[in-house]
Amino acid sequence: MNMFAKNEAKSVEEYLLRVPAESKKDVDFIHNFIQKVVPNLKPYFATNMIGYGMFYYLDSKKQKRDWPIIALANQKNYLSIYVCTVVENKDEAEKYKKELGKLSKGIGCIRFKKIEDINLETLEIVLKLAEKKPGVIGATLVDK
């Protein structure tokens, strides 16, 4: 599964059932970790990934869209956690990137191959930040 490839899942439960055996333990762990850290961000199936919480913004055509605050996707060779938060202080964002661990990352997309590569304490801070300040730089946020 990857976030861009169509899959047949229609729910979080189906998505989790379709995760290949070699990724299942890590996907389940991160899914449970996210729910524990930010329990107010309810999981839902969000087009080829699991979304947690939702924010609303205006797209380039000024149409209201929704998007997950946090998302989890099982890719072919790694897992991705997408974090939509506005960190205005670039130094702060860079600090989180460096402290997240041995992985390919930006504050918005965290890619890793195994749980041992990620600093869970820093990931917890980033997830809580997203819960408090969801969004994307440059996007106009709107109410539901």
Q: Which residue has the tokens 């819960």?
A: 131
Q: Which residues contact 144 (CB under 8 A, 6 or more apart)?
A: 56
What pLDDT, in 10s, does the model give residues 101-120?
A: 877 766 678 888 889 989 99
Q: Do 110 and 80 form a contact (C-beta atoms < 8 A)?
A: yes
Name the percent of the chain lying above pLDDT 90. Answer: 49
Q: What is the mean pLDDT of the chain?
A: 86
Read off the pLDDT of each residue in 66-94 and give the average, rounded to a whole number: 85
Which phi and psi (to 5°) does residue 19 adopt? -65, 130
C-alpha distances out from residue 36 to 41, 52, 72, 125, Å: 10, 12, 14, 13
Judged against a pLDDT cut of 50, whether residue 24 lies above it is answered with: yes
Q: What is the pLDDT of residue 48?
A: 86
For the chain, give the longest Cα–Cα distance: 42
pLDDT score for 7: 65
Q: Output the CA–CA distances (angstroms, integers) from residue 139 to 25, 63, 126, in the order listed.
A: 35, 12, 20
The rounded radius of gyration (Å) of the Cα atoms in the chain is 15
In 3D space, the residue among 43, 104, 57 whose CA is nearest the CA of residue 78 turns out to be 104
* Amino acid 26: pLDDT: 95
